[in-house]
Chains A and B, each alone.
Chain A
Amino acid sequence: MSDVPQSRPGVIHDLGYRRYDGLREGTATIARTLFITGLRHAYGLGRSGKSKVMPFLLLAMSVLPALIVVGVVVLTGMSSLPISYADYTNQTQLLVSLFAAAQAPVLFSRDLRHRSIVLYLARPLSAPLFALMRWLSLAVALWFFMAVPTLLLFVGAMLSGLDKSDQVTQLLKAVALQTLLALLVAGITGLISSVSLRRGFAVVGSVMALIVLTGVVTAIQAIAADQDADAVSVAAGLFSPWSLYTGLANAWDAGVETFVPVDGAWVLAYALVALLLVAGCLLGLVARFQKVGSR
């Protein structure tokens, strides 16, 4: 109050607000907070009660069969799990896809539709970093979605005394594959949701890209294999995230059957396509958020 200039006519009065001179958190903290908030929101945590229904309903549906399998294995003392870890994810792909389609708009559409994105970007946080953190949130949420039943199966296997080193190898393979799949699916659904801001259209778009496309690819693979056109069957697998996943799992001996075994140079092609797809989606997301951020 004391150092208010008296002589000049125009004066900004000191109302007692104090400047913040303390330590400021850096970009890393902002990014981490954004990531954690995004992860929580993907499961409806920290949001209304209604928004928790969908993610947890889907999670429950994907865990239930695993519980049944574990129960059966433990009670009957089977010598192996009736389904491999990687294949369990494959068999429940509908639920994983639906989870991604339903929750991607939560992370990618809302800020753009309500233009709250400009508030985020008004902080020392760049558009690319924002896009990256959102993508990571969704990817980890998806990974978690797949990992929970996988871990349950593993616990079941351990309880019934199956060979530990065997199971651990299978588990680690499955987890690695699931990570790749999560990054892939998060990229695809995120990109779709950030372009199509109406929730309904984003969901239908994601369902098209994940479920319908996989249906088409599977149909082509099956028919090609039936016609003994093995190369066509394997090549068709390059065109959907789920067939990439099953193809790589098959090549890596993770316990997933495909119509035609994926081997040789095809493995490299599958891995390359998967990585390129992740990179492409990321670039698309960054470009999209840079564009809306600059408006």
Chain B
Amino acid sequence: MMNATIAKLALQALLGRRRFYLLLAFPVLLIALVSLITALADGDAAFDILPGLGYPLVLPLVAILAASSVLGPEVDDGSIIYLLAKPVSRYGVAISKWVVALAATLTAGALPILVAALITGDSTRAWALFVGALVAGTTYSALFLAISAVTRHAVIASLMFVLIWESLLGNLFTGVAWLSIGQWGLRVGHELSAQLPDPANLTWAILASLVVTAVGVWFAGDRLRSFSLRGED
């Protein structure tokens, strides 16, 4: 299903000048901040940055940027039809693009979280958080890819999901954790280190992550199957 040519083109689009710097800014900022605080204060204080800022904000933002970069501009200006007018399964197109977005999310989102967490000391909790970030990053990238395939306002819609649903309402109502990708990841990470919270049922967290990932990518492919060329609006 994976198509190397499409993945290569998506990667080239992702690494095109400005986007790349914006994508790079997140991990640099995160690691610099955590290093600074670890040096000035102590590791535990610095670690709080990660569940407070790195995990709930930087990781999804990187995922949004990556997912919308591999699909958004091409859908926006219609040039995706050069890729779609080919005897290539549209699900294959979606999967290939998702793999690139996923790789970017994990490299620029999850990996820096691991590096930053390792800087703060305690490696068990660092690896636990990393596992959580892997789970959440995977699910996020699939969900945001699906959103990018549906609406031109994908970035804002995805941001609202993360910032308003997961962060704002998630902080007010604990029940939101059952429908929060970030919390599913944390729940999986909790298995490795009890320092991470235990917001939901483990089976549910794993199953929900898998389902959202699979359905997200499938849905993106299905939207591409019905991709219609519309006039300018």
* A interface residues (Cβ-Cβ under 8 A, vs B): 48, 54, 61, 94-95, 98, 101-102, 196, 198-201, 203-205, 207-208, 211-212, 215-216, 219-220, 223-224, 226-227
Contacts and interface: CB of A to CB of B under 8 A. Distances in A.
B33 interface: yes
A208 B37 CA distance: 20
A207 B22 contact: no
Contact of B156 (A54, A61, A198, A211): A54
Contact of A204 (B49, B155, B233): B155
Nearest to A216: B33
B103 to A, nearest CB: 19
B160 interface: yes
A94 B155 contact: no
Contacts of B37: 219-220, 223
Contacts of A102: 153, 156
Interface of B: 18-19, 22, 25, 29, 33, 37, 40-41, 45-46, 48-49, 52-53, 57-58, 61, 64-65, 68-69, 72-73, 76, 152-156, 159-160, 163-164, 167-168, 233
B164 A94 contact: yes
B22 A219 contact: no
21 contacts: A54-B153, A61-B164, A94-B163, A94-B167, A98-B160, A101-B159, A199-B152, A200-B72, A203-B159, A205-B22, A207-B159, A208-B22, A208-B25, A212-B53, A212-B57, A212-B61, A216-B29, A219-B49, A220-B33, A220-B37, A227-B45
The 6 closest A-B pairs by CB, nearest first: A200-B155, A215-B53, A203-B155, A223-B45, A102-B156, A200-B68
Contacts of A198: 73
A94 B172 CA distance: 14
Contacts of B160: 98
B45 A204 contact: no
Nearest to A205: B22
A97 to B, nearest CB: 8
Contact of A227 (B41, B58, B73, B153): B41
A266 to B, nearest CB: 20
Nearest to B69: A200
A226 B45 contact: yes
Contacts of A204: 22, 61, 64-65, 155
B73 A211 contact: no
Given A204-B61, A207-B61, A223-B37, A216 B156 contact: no
A223 B37 CA distance: 8
Q: Which of A196, A204, A215, A220 has the most CB of B within 10 A?
A: A204
A218 to B, nearest CB: 8
A211 B57 contact: yes
Given A203-B156, A219-B53, A223-B37, 12 more contacts: A61-B164, A198-B73, A199-B152, A200-B65, A200-B72, A201-B65, A204-B155, A212-B29, A215-B57, A216-B29, A219-B52, A220-B33
B226 to A, nearest CB: 19
Contacts of B29: 212, 216
Given A200-B72, A207-B159, A208-B61, A216 B53 contact: yes
Nearest to B19: A201
B126 to A, nearest CB: 18
A226 B58 CA distance: 24
Contacts of B22: 201, 204-205, 208
Contacts of A201: 18-19, 22, 65
B156 A98 contact: yes
Contacts of B33: 216, 219-220
